[in-house]
A and B are shown apart, each in its own frame.
Chain A
Amino acid sequence: MNNIVFLPVLLPLITGVVLIFFAKKTGIQKGISLLSSLCGVAAALFLVQYISKTGIQALQVGSWKAPFGIVIVADMLAALLVLTTSLVGTAVLLYSFRGIGQEREKFYFYSIFQFLLVGVNGAFLTGDIFNLFVFFEVMLMASYVLLVLGGTKAQLQESLKYILVNVISSALFVITVAYLYSIVGTLNMADIGRRISEAGQPGILTVIAVLFLVVFGLKGAIFPLFYWLPGSYYAAPIPVLALFGALLTKVGIYSILRTYTLMFPHKQGYTHELLAILAILTIIVGVIGAIAYWDIKKIIIYNIVIAVGVIAFGISLMNQDGLSGSLFYLIHDMIIKAALFLLVGIMMKITGTSSLREMGGLIRIYPVLGWTFFLAAISLAGIPPFSGFAGKLLILQGAAEKGAFIGMAVVLVSSLLVLYSIIRIFIYGFWGKEKTYSPPSHIHVTKLLTPAILLVAVSILYGIGTEFVYPFIIQGTEPLLDPQIYIDAVLKEEG
C-alpha cells in the first residue's frame, strides 16, 4: 500500500521505456503518453489525499532500515509539487501533440519527455542526498536532449553552453556531497539533519551550506548564477520551453528549500541572510531584463528569474508566513509560467515572429487567445482574486514580521514592474493597429489553445479556492518549520 508513494516516478519511467519501442508510430506514442499522464495526475491526487489523512509517508526501498537504504519520502510539500508537475506535464503534452512537429516526434520526443518527468518527480520525492544527485542527472540529461532535439543552429550553440554549465554544477554537487559525507558520515537527508543538529552546525557545515546554495543556485538561476538561462531557454522549442520554465528551475528552488530547512537551519544569521540578499538581487536583475526586451519570449524568460527570486526570498524568512507563501507562490508560478509560454508560443505561431514591434491587433481575430492571455497576465502579477496574490501576500506578511522592509519594498515594486512587462505584451500584441500576417494554413489555434486555457483555469481555481488549498499548504510547511517531524517520520524504527 505504501508503494503508492513511488508511483509518480514509476509510471513515467515505464511509459518512457515502452515508448522507445514505438518510435515511428506517432499515433500510438501519443495515446500511451496521454494515458500515462492522466494516470499520473490521478495517482498524484490520490497521494495528496492519502498524505493529508495519514501524514508523512516514508517508503524504504528494499526494506532496508532507514539510514542504510534509500528512502522515498512523500510529505505534503513533495506531494503538492508532484501533483503540479503532473498537471503541467499533461497540459504541455497536449500542446506538443499539435505543436512539436513530426520530425521531432519520430526521434523519441515523447520518451524523453517522460524521462524528464521521472527526474523531476524523483527529485521531489527522494530522501537521500546522493539519490537526489542521480535524479538531477536524469532530469538534466533528458533536458539536454530535449533542448538539442531538432538540431537547428541556435539549438546546437546554446545546448553546448547549457551542458557545460550543468556539467560544472553537477561536479560541484558531487564535491559538496563528498565533503558532507566526510563530516557527517551518512547520505540519508533525515539522518544528516539529525547529526547536524546534534553537532550544532560548526563552521565547516556552514561552508557546505553555502556550497549547496551555489550548486542549487546554478540549477535554479539565482542572481550571480543565472547568466546561462536566458540564452539557453531562448533556443528551445515552445513546448520544451514551457516544460523547462515550469519545472527545471523550481527543482533547484525546492532543493534549497529542503536543505535549508532540514539540514542547515541552525546558523540562520549567515546562510539565510545571504540567501535573502541574493534573492533580492535576483528579483532586481530579473525585473531589469523583463522590462528591457521587446521580445515576448525573452520577457517571460526573465519573469522566471523574478519568480525564483521571490520564492527564494520567502524561503530566507524561515517563518510560517514566509514559507507557506513561498510554497503557495511556487505552485502558482509553475502553473502560470507553463500557461504563459504556451500562449506566447501560439502568438508566435500566428504572427511568425517573437518581436513585439511587429505585432498588433490580434484581439480582433483571436479574442479567446487575447482574454486568456489577459487573465494569465494579471494572475502572474498577483491581482487579488487570482492565484499570484495569496502567495505574495503571505511572503510580505512574513517579511513584515521579520522586519525585512527592503525585501518587502523590492517584492512590491517588482510586482508592479512584472505587471508592466507582461501587460506591454497585451497592449502592443493584442491592441493597436492590425497587421497582416500570412499564417501558415496548418495551424489549429483552438487545439493549441485548449491546454493553455486548461492551465489558466486551474490557476484561477487555485486563486479562488485559496481557503480550500490553505490547509494543505500549512501541512506542507509543518516539517519545514520543525524538521524533527520529518526526521522522526523517516527514522521511526530506530527511536
Chain B
Amino acid sequence: MEILMAIVIGILFTCATYLMLSKSILRIIIGTGLLSHGAHLLILTMGGLKRGAVPLLGEHAESYVDPLPQALILTAIVISFGVTSLFLVLAYRTYQELGTDNMDHLRGNEANE
C-alpha cells in the first residue's frame, strides 16, 4: 500500500514541478495546490498505513491508526489554504494592475518604480 502511495505522490510532485515551471500564474498556483496535496499525502503515508480503528477512544478497538500525522496534516492544510487564498488574490490584483498573467512579462522591477 505504501509503495502505491509513494508512486502516486511522486506523480503529484512531477505534475506540480511541471506546472510551476510554466509561464501562466494560474498554472503555477495549480502547481502549488498539487504540491501541497502531495506533501499532505506524504505525511499520511510516512506515518504508516497499518490497519486500525479511527483514532476515537469510544471505538474500544485493539489498535488505532497513528493520530499524530493526522493532526500535522490538519495544521498544514489550513496553513496552505491561507497562503493559497492570499496567492490567488495577489494574482488577481497583479492581473488588474499590470494587465498580464505571463511571468515573463513580470520582469525588470527597477523600471516599474
Contact = CB atoms under 8 A, between A and B. Distances in A.
Nearest to A172: B39
A117 B68 CA distance: 28
A428 interface: no
Interface stretch (A30-38, A154-162, A469-477): A154-162
Contacts of B112: 152-154, 157
Contact of A141 (B36, B83, B91): B83
B22 to A, nearest CB: 12
| Secondary structure of the B contact surface, majority rule | helix
B94 A156 contact: yes
Interface in A74-98: none
B3 interface: no
A153 B20 contact: no
B35 A178 contact: no
A17 interface: no
A137 B109 contact: no
Contact of A160 (B42, B80, B91, B110): B91
Interface string B88-108: 001101100110000100100
Interface in A117-166: 130, 133-134, 137, 141, 144-145, 148, 151-154, 156-161, 163-164
B86 A156 contact: no
Contact of B90 (A134, A156, A175): A156
Interface string A228-272: 000100110000000000000000000000000000000000000
Given A130-B75, A164-B32, A141 B82 contact: yes
Contacts of B110: 234, 295
B69 A174 contact: no
A235 B106 CA distance: 13
B15 interface: no
A73 B102 CA distance: 46
A2 interface: no
- Interface size band for A: 35 or more
Contact of A182 (B40, B47, B97): B47
B64 interface: no
Given A157-B109, A182-B47, A151 B82 contact: no
Interface string A354-393: 0000000000000000000000000000000000000000
A63 B79 CA distance: 26
A167 B42 CA distance: 16
A171 interface: yes
Band of interface residues on B: 35 or more
A168 interface: yes
Contact of B48 (A158, A174, A182, A234): A182
A160 B94 contact: yes
Given A148-B90, A158-B109, A235-B109, A171 B97 contact: no
Question: Which of A153, A160, A187 counts the most B-chain CB atoms under 10 A from its CB?
Answer: A160
A151 B42 contact: no
A181 interface: yes
Contacts of B40: 174
A431 interface: no
Nearest to A130: B72
A160 B46 contact: no
A148 B94 CA distance: 11
Contacts of B65: none
A151 B87 contact: no
Contact of A157 (B46, B76, B106): B106
Given A156-B93, A157-B112, A181-B47, A163 B106 contact: no
A295 B28 CA distance: 31
B113 interface: yes
B13 to A, nearest CB: 9
A179 interface: yes
A234 B109 CA distance: 8
Interface string B52-80: 00000000000000001100100110011
B48 to A, nearest CB: 7
A237 to B, nearest CB: 12
Contacts of A130: 72, 75
Contacts of A174: 36, 39-40, 42-43, 76
Given A153-B98, A153-B112, A178-B46, A168 B35 contact: yes
A235 B107 CA distance: 12
A151 B97 contact: yes
B86 A163 contact: yes
21 contacts: A134-B79, A137-B79, A145-B86, A151-B97, A153-B98, A154-B112, A156-B93, A156-B97, A157-B94, A157-B109, A159-B90, A160-B87, A168-B20, A170-B83, A174-B42, A174-B43, A174-B76, A178-B39, A178-B46, A178-B47, A181-B43
Interface of B: 20, 25, 28, 32, 35-36, 38-40, 42-43, 45-48, 68-69, 72, 75-76, 79-80, 82-83, 86-87, 90-91, 93-94, 97-98, 103, 106, 109-110, 112-113
Shortest Cβ-Cβ A-B pairs, 4 listed: A182-B46, A178-B46, A178-B43, A174-B39
